Amino acid sequence: MAAVLAVKTALHDGSATGIAVCALCCALWLGFLRVAHLRIRTLASASPPPALAPRHASAAVLCAVSMAVCAAVLVV
C-alpha cells in the first residue's frame, strides 16, 4: 500500500523528492517480496521446515517498518 501511495504522490507532484521516495518504497517492496519468496521456497522444499533465519526475519521486519515510515512521510 505504501508503494502505491508513493507512486500516486510522485506522479501527482512530479518533484524529485516524491520520485526518490517512490523509488525507495518500490525497492523496499521488492526486497520484502524476495524474502517472502525465499521463505515460501524453503517451506515447500522440506517436510519439517527449518526456523526462519534471523537475518531473513530482520530483513522482512526492516522492509515492512521502512515502508510504513515512507507511507507516514508521504501522508504528512
Distant-in-sequence, close-in-space partners of 3: CB < 8 Å, separation ≥ 6: 22, 25, 26, 28, 29, 67
Between CA 12 and CA 66 the distance in angstroms is 22
pLDDT in tens, 10-65: 667 677 777 777 778 778 888 888 888 988 888 888 778 888 889 988 988 988 88
pLDDT of res. 2: 61
Model pTM?
Answer: 0.67
Buried b (16+ CB within 10 A) or exposed e, 12-24: eeeeeebbebbeb
C-alpha cell at 53: 533465519
